[in-house]
Amino acid sequence: MKQLEIIPTKNISGTVEIPGSKSYTNRALVIASMIKGSVVIKNPLESDDTRAMINCLKELGIRVEERVGEINVVGDISEIEEKEYKLDAGLSGTTIRFMLALSCIIPGKKIINGEESLNKRPIGELAGALKDLGAEIDYLGKRGYPPLVVSSSKLKNNRTRLHGDISSQFFSALLMISPIMMGGLEISVMGSQISKPYIDMTLDLMSYFGVKVVNKNYKKYLVKSGQIYTKRNYIVEGDYSSAGYFLAIAALTKSELILKNLNSDSKQADKNFLKILEKFGSEICFEGENLVIKGNGVKALDVDMEDCPDQIQTMAVLLAFAAGKSTISGVRSLRIKETERVLALQNELSKMGIRTESTIDTLTIYGGSPKPAEINTYNDHRMAMSFAVAGIVLPGIIINNPEVVTKTFPEFWKKINGIGVQTK
């Protein structure tokens, strides 16, 4: 097992080039596959998750040309032949969900699978909605979980329902294929819609490519028939999820960092992390596409992070250093991620001497003086990067399987070294 030790430093400074957004890259790839003609995606994220999406498109016979700093999607779904396809999503949740929906509007027998931990993540809610729309989907193993096989190629119905409190990706998957469906699409939301900014990102990108979605206060989504995606090139903005670790480092160490390639008007969910850091006293400003943060330490607080769930692990690590009781709410979606993230957080914080409590939707942290520990990452990229933040100030933090960061941020450790942090 590989390990990486982080050497604490008080000299944090510099500029970090933030890579392109994973969420926008994978959404752009899916939409581009439904557009006739060449679509160039510039500044895409190059990672395991985006590689999984590209490989699935290539398996379907869609022509995807990769060059330095851009991806050219030349082919589209009209070129897909009637035969059997094996679509391997690896560990990418967005890929398996988006591919399941896409598979319902293309020819052939589509077998959709992932690695073991991905196959443990439920997908029955999305499969059920697609069946309501007319898809023929069968499970090849445990009901409600991958692997699956899709044997149909058209969706005949136009109305379905989804529970809003499971995964926003289920909604995004359906919405993105809606222009290919005859008669449009109507999705009713049962209960409350979680992770609303991820829905906003999908609607934003669909609008960029010419398709309008009526969002009725996150209770219903309507896509009128007759709309088609128009051919345009697309520039992927920087990833706020990746930026979050460096923002947290600046806050914890009271340092100043410049983060490049961030859109101040972004729809990305994790832009909400900025507001939380400002509650700590961090000073944040934009200079064009550069974000400048001056950290001012951390303090105990109660915070709702339902709209930026990918930053919950990072916030939990920060609050471990904040004396007193803090509670993070909106954590329920973390229980069906790469791992059961709430339990993983509790396990690793406990090793550091930090007491925690949890309910289905809250995580309470009794912060103070965390101790060094050997951190298990559970094959979860965000566990590795979140606990790396602790290692910047706490001697003896060792990250097991540090290479898991390749899922979304292959250059993470190099970027950490670039702001003055040594690793070994």
Q: Determine the Cα–Cα distance for residues 387 and 383; give it in Å rounded to an integer.
A: 6
What pLDDT sits at residue 182?
A: 87
Residue 240 · residue 198 · CB < 8 Å: no
Catalytic residue among 200, 239, 310, 380: 310
The closest of 182, 184, 157, 162 to 172, measured between CA atoms, is: 162
pLDDT above 80 for 1: no
Residue 172 is predicted with a pLDDT of 98
CB 309 within 8 A of CB 93: no
Taking only the tens place, the pLDDT of each residue in 244-271 is 999 999 999 999 999 999 999 999 999 9
Which DSSP state fits 35?
S
The pLDDT of 236-247, averaged and rounded, is 97
Residue 266 CB contacts under 8 Å (≥ 6 apart), including other chains? 237, 240
pLDDT digit string, tens, across residues 35-76: 999 999 999 999 999 999 999 999 999 999 999 999 999 999
Q: What is the mean pLDDT of residues 358-375?
A: 95
Q: How far is the C-alpha of 58 from the C-alpha of 404, rounded, in Å?
A: 24
DSSP tag of 96? H
What is the Cα–Cα distance from 336 to 308, expressed in whole angstroms? 15
**Which structure tokens are listed for 409?**
């941020």
| 164 neighbors 86 (Cβ within 8 angstroms) | no
- Output the six-digit token pair for 113: 């699978």
Task: Report the alpha-carbon distance of residue 405 to residue 417 in Å, rounded.
Answer: 15
Indicate whether 207 pLDDT > 70. yes
Contact (Cβ atoms closer than 8 angstroms) between residue 338 and residue 310: no
Domains delineated in the chain: 3-19+238-423 (3.65.10.10), 22-218 (3.65.10.10)
CB within 8 A of 350, min separation 6: which ones?
356
Confidence at 338, pLDDT banded by 50, 70, 90: low
Residue 310 annotated among the catalytic residues of the structure: yes
What's the pLDDT tens digit per position in 220-232?
999 999 999 999 9
pLDDT tens digits for range 75-121: 999 999 999 999 999 999 999 999 999 999 999 999 999 999 899 99
* Mean pLDDT for the stretch of residues 334-356: 89
pLDDT score recorded for residue 354: 98
For residues 247 and 293, give the distance between their C-alpha atoms in angstroms, rounded to a whole number.
Answer: 7
**N-term to C-term CA, the chain:** 14
Q: Could you read off the pLDDT of 135-152 as tens digits, one per residue?
A: 999 999 999 999 999 999
Whether 408 has a pLDDT exceeding 70, the answer reads yes
Cα–Cα distance measured from residue 92 to residue 273, given in angstroms and rounded to the nearest whole number: 23
Measured CA distances, 234 to 117, 209, 413 (Å): 32, 9, 28
CB atoms within 10 A of CB 131: 17
User: Going edge to edge, which strands form the sheet with 283-287?
Assistant: 15-17, 256-260, 290-294, 283-287
Contact 95, 26 (CB under 8 A): yes
Question: What does the angle CA 333 – CA 337 – CA 343 come to, to the nearest 5 degrees?
Answer: 80
Q: Identify the DSSP state of 20.
A: B
What does each C-alpha distance from 107 to 82, 151, 154, 166, 194 come to in angstroms?
Answer: 5, 8, 8, 29, 33
Residues near 93 by beta carbon (within 8 Å), at least 6 away in sequence = 118, 121, 167, 169, 337, 338
Measured between alpha carbons, how far is 332 from 342 in angstroms, rounded to an integer? 8
Residue 423 CB neighbour total at 10 angstroms: 15
Take residue 394 and report the two structure tokens written for it: 């706490």
Predicted TM-score (pTM) of this structure: 0.92
For residue 282, the tally of other CB atoms under 10 A from its CB is 21
d(C-alpha 384, C-alpha 404), whole Å = 7
DSSP state of 363: E
Q: Between β-strands 185-190 and 256-260, what pairing exists: parallel, antiparallel or unpaired?
A: unpaired
Quote the pLDDT of residue 307: 87
